[in-house]
Amino acid sequence: MNQITTEHVLAAIDGFLQEQQAKKLEPENKSLVAAQEKGDNEQVAEIQNNITAIKEKYKRDPWCKDAGERMAVQLRFGTHMSKGIHPDSKGDNISATWLIDLPLGLVGSQSERDIQLDANGNAAALPLAGFMNAVVSQTNNTKIRDLILAEHPAISGAFSSNPEQSTQLEQAFRLSLQGGHPTAETDERNKQLLWPTGKNSIKEDQYITLIPLHPSSLVLSNAQKINGLRFAEANKEARESSKKSNVKNNMQFLPYVSIPNLAIKKLGGTKPQNVSQLNSAQGGKNLLLPSLPPTFVSTKTFNISRSQHSFFDKNLSYHSKNALNELHAVVSSTKNNLEVRERRKNSALATILCQVIKMAYYIQTNASYPPGWSKDHELDMAQKYWLDPKRANLEGEEDFKEGREQEEWIDRVVESFALWLNGDLRTTFKEFASDFNDAESAEWKREMHVAIKATQRAGSGVFQ
């Protein structure tokens, strides 16, 4: 902050005013072009007068004078806003500062390195809040408000060509930022929490009163981070690829971020600016992450018993239930859009294939199944070739190696997969079990065959 000069401050002020002026001039310039095309000289003259007035208004001296004398007394600044709790609250806002960091695992406004200052009051005065947040130095993200509150020498004479008036405006800005009150006041519409401080708090009135306020900057930062993840270009492309990709054309699935169960709490109704400027910047929409009880998942281990004849059994169905449920949802859907149903079915099938291949990879690589484990198991020989590939490298397993290299076993594994999947659908949808015929079976086989071949080429049991 010591490196900042008055020239830096003037540049920040002028940059802010130019942006504001450009926003106001844009509709006027469009109207001017339209009036000129119509040849309406009277309207042209009127618009030109408006443009001249706007340019005059956004010069440094008149704008800062208006901001210091009018806007500063019409706004109440803070990092935590009273109206965020109740729109009719007349309670004071608070500009919070922190001397210590939060413990690891907890998140609060002090977690934000760049906490923004919010404001509410007369909507016509809200541009002053943007002015206070204008950045003077990108190096350490110093804002005009930081310099005002610190009484930095660089702001001396920055608000007016008249030094005396600049000092008066600086004082008005500082008083407005500090809240203009020696002690904060609450409102009957604000909630109160009574925090006990002793063993007999009720009888002896041993408690302190906590007044929760709306943490504007934290809420805005949270929304920006969530929307940044959800709507980033790369994330949108990855989400689209998941709809188009399938095992059949050997396209890769790209990971993407999904944040389900988001809730939206809207503050301010049709006038979010009445709550605060930062609330208005979000259209009044405050995103809430889900706060739900934990879901306990069984830790049942996937394994293959010695007496098991097939990898495709109830144990695999149990570990693939979420993927299978996705396909069940498509089958039971009443939607008639064939294109949508087909896309959803392909997506569900890809999910099932990924789960099956993942389980196979678990058996192929888990230390509990060392090379040659399948010798003592009753599995179908084709599945032994698939699930115990390193057995081919053992001494005395030349016949196993030769059989595996011929790859005829792949068709038998594929057949077993199709029977397992069709069997699951017939059991789940008994009322129309006969509908799951050779056409579906052929599709299941085709996709599974491509999946196994893909893992063979990659040299592992998972999609690459």
User: What was the pLDDT predicted at 96?
Assistant: 79
- For residue 77, report the phi and psi dihedrals to the nearest 5 degrees: -90, 160
For the cut 90, the answer to whether the pLDDT of residue 182 exceeds it is no
For the cut 50, the answer to whether the pLDDT of residue 321 exceeds it is yes
3-state secondary structure 306-346: CCCCCCCCHHHHHHCHHHHHHHHHHHHCCCCCHHHHHHHHH
Which residues are registered as beta bridge partners of 285? 266
pLDDT in tens, 328-361: 888 787 655 666 667 777 888 888 988 899 899 9
Torsion of CA 152, 153, 156, 158, to 10 degrees: -70
pTM over 0.95: no
3-state secondary structure 368-393: CCCCCHHHHCCCCHHHHHHHCHHHHH
**C-beta separation of 128 from 72 below 8 A:** yes
pLDDT in tens, 216-272: 889 988 898 898 888 888 888 877 776 664 544 555 667 778 888 888 989 988 888
User: What was the pLDDT predicted at 10?
Assistant: 94
Q: Give the chain's mean pLDDT.
A: 85
Question: Higher model confidence: residue 198 or residue 19?
Answer: 19
For the cut 80, the answer to whether the pLDDT of residue 214 exceeds it is yes
* Residues whose CB is less than 8 angstroms from the CB of residue 151 and which lie 6 or more positions away in sequence, other chains included: 174
Handedness of CA 170, 174, 177, 179 (dihedral sign): negative
Question: Higher model confidence: residue 450 or residue 155?
Answer: 155
User: What was the pLDDT predicted at 248?
Assistant: 47
**C-beta separation of 135 from 142 below 8 A:** yes
Exposure class string for 226-258: b at 16+ Cβ within 10 A, else e:
beeebeeeebeebeeebeebbbeeeeebeebee
**C-beta separation of 362 from 302 below 8 A:** yes
User: 55-62, long-range: CB within 8 Å, 24+ apart, which pairs?
Assistant: 55/21, 55/25, 57/21, 58/17, 58/18, 58/20, 58/21, 58/24, 59/17, 60/10, 60/13, 60/14, 60/17, 60/159, 60/160, 61/160, 61/161, 61/162
User: What was the pLDDT predicted at 437?
Assistant: 67
- The top-scoring range by mean pLDDT among 10-14, 251-255, 435-439 is 10-14
Read off the tokens for 433. 């079990």
The C-alpha atoms of residue 277 and residue 133 are separated, in whole angstroms, by 12
User: What was the pLDDT predicted at 438?
Assistant: 65
**What is the maximum span of the chain, computed from C-alpha positions, in angstroms?**
102
**C-beta separation of 54 from 18 below 8 A:** no
